[in-house]
Amino acid sequence: MPYFDVGVALANLGRLGEGLVLTVLLTLIVMALSLVVALLVALGRMSRFALLRWPMTAYIEVIRNTPLLLQLYYFFFVLPYVGIRFDGFTAAVLALTLNYSAYMSEVYRSGIQAIAKGQHDAAHALGMTFPQTFRRIVLPQAVRIVIPGLGNYFISLFKDTALCSIAGVAEVMFTAKTITAVNYQYFTIYTVCFAFYFIVAFPAARFVNHLERTMKRGYARRRLAHA
């Protein structure tokens, strides 16, 4: 019968905590990069220029139709065969950024396309250029629409960083694996990991839900004000 060994948990809490810090850091770095890359990919996907639109579409389809774990393997294990080498952390950042940028670009695209064409026409009638229209009219409204979706991807990303243990990134799961390889206290160590993930992810999920409800109420009030 497995039991939770408090002494073992306390003895390894520091190492697991360091792994959690690296997990959060990896999540923040990848999310920051993905927010920028995804917007550029979304704009490329909507471009009227085929030479820009087709590569972006191909990139999204390749990423969405292959597993993230396989993409991590390619960056860390396969690319060195063609002379391209990354350390584990860099490989993890690149693989996760490319993966999440593809998915998040579709969130951006749907948000941008949800803005009524009449607002584009009104901005043009006021003499705004396309960049000005996008920056001042379209993007602020699209952000309101896409934030809940992007928030959910942030939570998923936090959990998916566990896959980076295959590249030797010393995040919380890799740390747990190295600890259990010595003391065999799987129940205790992985229960602590379970608690760590839940303690971070659950409040984040509640915050995203709260943000979504708040934005919906704000949008409804604005519609009533203009009615």
Per residue of the chain (227 residues), give pLDDT as tens. 778 899 999 999 999 999 999 999 999 999 999 999 999 999 999 888 889 899 999 999 999 999 999 999 999 999 999 999 999 999 999 999 999 999 999 999 888 888 777 776 777 777 777 777 777 777 777 888 888 889 899 999 999 999 999 999 999 999 999 999 999 999 999 999 999 999 999 999 898 888 877 776 655 555 545 45
Rounded to whole angstroms, what are the CA distances from 115 to 23, 31, 62, 204? Answer: 36, 25, 28, 28
Whole-number Å distance between alpha carbons of 151 and 157: 10
Residue 191 lies inside a defined structural domain of this protein: no
Centre a 10 Å sphere on the Cβ of residue 50 and count the other Cβ atoms it contains.
9
Rounded to whole angstroms, what are the CA distances from 34 to 38, 40, 101, 146, 200? Answer: 6, 10, 5, 14, 20
Whole-number Å distance between alpha carbons of 205 and 100: 18
pLDDT at residue 218 in the model: 57
Residue 9 lies inside a defined structural domain of this protein: no
Residue 4 lies inside a defined structural domain of this protein: no
pTM: 0.87
Residue 207 lies inside a defined structural domain of this protein: no
Q: How many domains does the chain have?
A: 1
Residue 24 lies inside a defined structural domain of this protein: yes
Residue 153 lies inside a defined structural domain of this protein: yes
Whole-number Å distance between alpha carbons of 191 and 140: 42
Residue 68 lies inside a defined structural domain of this protein: yes
pLDDT at residue 140 in the model: 78
pLDDT at residue 25 in the model: 96
Sign of CA dihedral 181, 183, 188, 189: negative
* b/e 97-126 (16+ beta carbons within 10 angstroms → b): bbbbbbbbbbbbbebbeebeeeebeebeee
| Domain of 165, in residue numbers | 17-172
Whole-number Å distance between alpha carbons of 51 and 164: 34
Under DSSP, the state recorded for 5 is: -
Whole-number Å distance between alpha carbons of 145 and 156: 19
In CATH, what number is assigned to the domain containing residue 50?
Answer: 1.10.3720.10
